[in-house]
Structure 1
Amino acid sequence: MEIQTLLLTISPSLAILAYVISSDRFQEPPRTMIAAFVLGYLICLPSGELNHLLIDSTSEPENYSFIAGFVEEALKFLAIGLFLWDRVEFDEPMDAIVYGTLVSLGFATFENYEYVYVWNGEYSSFTVAAARAVSAVPLHACCGIIMGFFIGRYFLSYRRKYLIISFLVPALIHAFYNFLENYYMQFLIAVICLTWYLYNKTKKEQHD
């Protein structure tokens, strides 16, 4: 069961990444992609500290869970922006989606490990890994793709509104997901549909 739990903890992120990377018509350098994934993995550390400071230290942390969406997406936004800025490898909108997904799922992989093996509480590690494989991991992937989509639009037009949207939309999606208790899966399905549309729009433009 331990090997199965470990695989279930990391394989959803890797499967989504494999799909996004393989569908990119012009492949990115492996070393650069690994660096983006590791960067996303590492920003989970300051994210945890900020979430603890802003949420866990309050008297009713469950009422402030939405703040985590803004904290985590802000760190991803900064990581993606700093990573892509002036890189010669970034030369088309699809690249922003690839790197956005890499950073987001690097983050999700670390977070998954923490939830599965450290914060699992009353549930078994396998149960937590299975639940997050169909919820939190797809959410992080969607936020990364959406963020990458609008960052790509910004680099095409240099219109500042796209840069603002690239942070606000994923942050609001993540915040709503965290705050909703009873309908978060229905909300996630709607987010996946939006993400699929934006992703395919960019992929079609790449092939035109």
Structure 2
Amino acid sequence: MIAVIGAAIAPGIAILSYFYLRDNLQPEPISMVIRSFIFGVLLVVPVMVLQYIIQTEWEWKDGIAAAVFVSAVVEEFFKWMVVYFTAYKHVEFDEPYDGIVYAVAVSLGFATLENLFYLIINGVNVAFWRAFLPVSSHALFGVWLGYYLGKAKFSDRSQDEYRRLWVSVGLPIGLHALYNAIFLATQHWIWVIVPYMLALWWQALKKVQRAHDFGSKTFRSRPH
């Protein structure tokens, strides 16, 4: 059991540590990051209950449509809500990259408990693929969510803020939906999902750099 718990938790902690340590301008209080991670953990059960209700009460004729709505929309929307209401308006959210830190923390909290449930049922022999696919994908969707929340937070005009807030929830839903659709659309999903994940990582790292660049400009423009 200890091996299962370790295999379930390690990927999330490792990925979160990576993105946290990239915050080299004004690192967030570790207590805030841990709090966001715990919020993500606590989100799993209500989301699973809601997904179960939707799946059982609604008649889905299209499996891909069900996967898009029940998984992508519900999970990404509720993760967005947690980040928005617990971090976005907080005083510690004081640079654009902070959005990535908090969104990744919430996403990985969610992914870690979900991963634990899966490994308890299926064993540690699938731990590597769980780390590379579901856990990593949740973190990468969180990068997009957090990047545009950071852009929204420091927008000069209110209309730009509202537009970026919509993008911050819409893009992760779209990326998650495409991720789910790949598994359902072909039996040879491995040949599609690996390039897709590599592209997500590549774009996520670019978003990290852009957030840093934007944050440096914002920081230098503040009165000291």
Question: What TM-score do the two structures reach when normalised by structure 1?
Answer: 0.89
Deviation at 1:59, TM superposition (A): 6.3
Structure 2: distance between partners of 1:190 and 1:85: 27
- After superposition, residues 66-77 of structure 1 pair within 5 angstroms as 66-67=68-69, 68-77=71-80
Deviation at 1:52, TM superposition (A): 1.3
Structure 2: distance between partners of 1:65 and 1:47: 14
Task: Please report the RMSD computed on the Cα atoms of aligned residues, expressed in angstroms.
Answer: 1.8
Q: What residue identity is the alignment partner of 1:150?
A: Y
Instruction: Specify the SS of the correspondent of 1:66.
Output: helix
CA contact under 8 A between 1:108 and 1:140: conserved in structure 2? yes
List gaps (5 residues or longer) in structure 1. Answer: none
Give the alignment partner of residue 94 of structure 1, picking from 94, 97, 120: 97
Structure 1: distance between partners of 2:49 and 2:90: 30
Structure 2: distance between partners of 1:94 and 1:191: 18
Structure 1: distance between partners of 2:23 and 2:174: 27
Structure 2: distance between partners of 1:61 and 1:53: 17
Structure 1: distance between partners of 2:62 and 2:43: 22
Instruction: Specify the SS of the correspondent of 1:180.
Output: helix
Larger radius of gyration: 2
Structure 2: distance between partners of 1:192 and 1:71: 23
When residues 76 and 53 of structure 1 are mapped into structure 2, their CA distance, relative to the original with a 3 A threshold, is same
CA contact under 8 A between 1:39 and 1:79: conserved in structure 2? yes
Structure 1: distance between partners of 2:125 and 2:62: 24
Structure 1: distance between partners of 2:108 and 2:80: 13
Partner of 2:14: 15
Give the alignment partner of residue 182 of structure 2, picking from 180, 183, 186: 180
What is the total number of aligned residue pairs between the two structures? 202
Partner of 1:162: 164
CA contact under 8 A between 1:55 and 1:61: conserved in structure 2? no
Q: What residue identity is the alignment partner of 1:127?
A: N
Structure 2: distance between partners of 1:92 and 1:204: 11
List gaps (5 residues or longer) in structure 2. Answer: 184-188, 218-224
CA contact under 8 A between 1:146 and 1:198: conserved in structure 2? yes
Q: What residue identity is the alignment partner of 1:129?
A: A
Q: What residue identity is the alignment partner of 2:170?
A: L
Deviation at 1:8, TM superposition (A): 2.0
Question: What TM-score do the two structures reach when normalised by structure 2?
Answer: 0.83
State, as a whole percentage, how many aligned pairs show the same letter.
30
